[in-house]
Amino acid sequence: MTRKLFGTDGIRGTANIEPMTPETALKVAIAVGECFKNGAHKHLVVIGKDTRLSGYMLEPALTAGFVTMGMDVVLVGPLPTPAIAMLTRSLRADLGVVLSASHNPYSDNGIKLFGRDGYKLSDDIEKKIEAALAKGPSRRASPSELGRVKRLDDAGGRYIEFVKQSFPRGLRLDGLRIVVDCAHGAAYKVAPTVFWELGAEVFSLGVSPDGLNINRECGALMPEQMRREVLARRADIGVALDGDADRLIVADERGTILDGDQLMALIATGLSRSGRLAGGALVATVMSNLGLERYLADRQIGLHRTAVGDRYVVERMRSAGCNLGGEPSGHIILAEYATTGDGLIAALQVLASIVETGRPASEVCRLFLPVPQYAQSVRYGEVMPLNHPTVQCAITDGEARLGVTGRLVIRRSGTEPVIRVMAEGEDEELVVSVVEGICGVIRAAMAAGNDIPRAAE
């Protein structure tokens, strides 16, 4: 059985359109309750969300579904995704749920599920949930067995202290000027507080959520506002988070944008130097730059590549015994502290390097020259155009043009109906030409309509 509802990062879609409706959220919660049922054990579920307006619609529906299956629910309100993973473990809950579509616009929302260990549920468990969803519950709780609901008022404070404990003992951020862009998202309260309590002078952006402005022209996907603020404030560094704060992008004091690859190189180097890089390797996806791969190889640091998605990075980290992994998008997982990507914890590791060396971010954070890389996305409809013969020919031709010194990665997104085409190589013009050529063929194939073979189920 293949997963149809779950993608690479839970369930995601447009709010109030299937599957992101209260009806489906209710049914998902009931299906989860059916799968997690364990005799007389009273299950506990932690539910958090970001700042999207649709969270107020989906949260009650999920809560009702869990309660009807006899599960107790703790509501924590808007908090970063990694905070829910942490609280699930801290409260000894059986399940953590996050209502968020991460970096997507406010019109989208999603449901992410964490197990009692703080890790995202496996593909096998998600398949069981989908099967239970199709079948319906075998029983519901009796009136006396219904779950109870309460709010955890100090959830934000717990997470703030948890994050601060990841900063090296004896270090402070005193004297540092930090711009933090919270994308009007889940970290709008906790992120500025973390940096301020560690001693920094903080300039906050994206801290006025209205339910509709999350990720709008701000945050990790659009860091230009943060970059400009760094220059205007003469700050030492800028940090841009996404809507659920599980990823970050940094700008140095000169306004140069640094992606996850550069930050992973910095953190991996520091861990390796101190003998704390477990497994002697970094785990990254197929999207990480060849420049990172070459930089690590020069320093005898290994690199394991995975499919795109932080869940696959975490799976490889656990199987390979590694404690560092991530993606160029800024998802960075530090297994010593967290079970999922955490933008604040990753930012503190970068800041620790700046404090320890006493050097500016421009000297500390940019460790390698990226190989020219270019990417485009093409949205598709009901059929998968990658199966079209002309598209396959274009891909083969592109690989041949890039040669042995280049790379071509073409994949179907696991979070939205788009095909992502990425190429890299020494010749930037060639890289752009290959990507645009393949995207053009894909669009032409879609225009052909009926000639496209349907994707295999």
Are the CB atoms for 45 and 72 separated by under 8 Å? yes
The CA distance from 182 to 197, in Å, is 17
Question: Quick check: helix, strand or coil at residue 109?
Answer: strand
The CA distance from 51 to 228, in Å, is 25
Which residues participate in catalysis according to the annotation? 102
Sign of the alpha-carbon dihedral angle for 46, 50, 51, 56: negative
- Spatial neighbors of 201 by CB under 8 A, at least 6 apart, are 176, 177, 178
Nearest to 307, CA basis, from 161, 411, 166, 416: 411
pLDDT (tens place) for every residue of the chain, 457 residues total: 566 899 878 999 999 999 999 999 999 999 999 999 887 889 999 999 999 999 999 999 999 999 999 999 999 999 999 999 999 999 999 999 999 999 999 999 999 999 999 999 998 999 999 999 999 999 999 999 999 999 999 999 999 999 999 999 999 999 999 999 999 999 999 999 999 999 999 999 999 999 999 999 999 999 999 999 999 999 999 999 999 999 999 999 999 999 999 999 999 999 999 999 999 999 999 999 999 999 999 999 999 999 998 889 999 999 999 999 999 999 999 999 999 999 999 999 999 999 999 999 999 999 999 999 999 999 988 777 888 899 999 999 999 999 998 999 999 887 778 999 999 999 999 999 999 999 999 999 888 764 544 443 3
List domains and CATH numbers for the chain: 11-155 (3.40.120.10), 165-364 (3.40.120.10), 373-451 (3.30.310.50)
Question: Quick check: helix, strand or coil at residue 57?
Answer: helix
Q: What is the pLDDT of residues 106-130, one digit of tens each?
A: 999 999 999 999 999 998 999 999 9
Neighbouring CB atoms inside 10 A of 294's CB total 13
The CA distance from 333 to 309, in Å, is 12
Side chain identity at 368, as an amino acid letter?
Answer: F
Are the CB atoms for 323 and 330 separated by under 8 Å? no
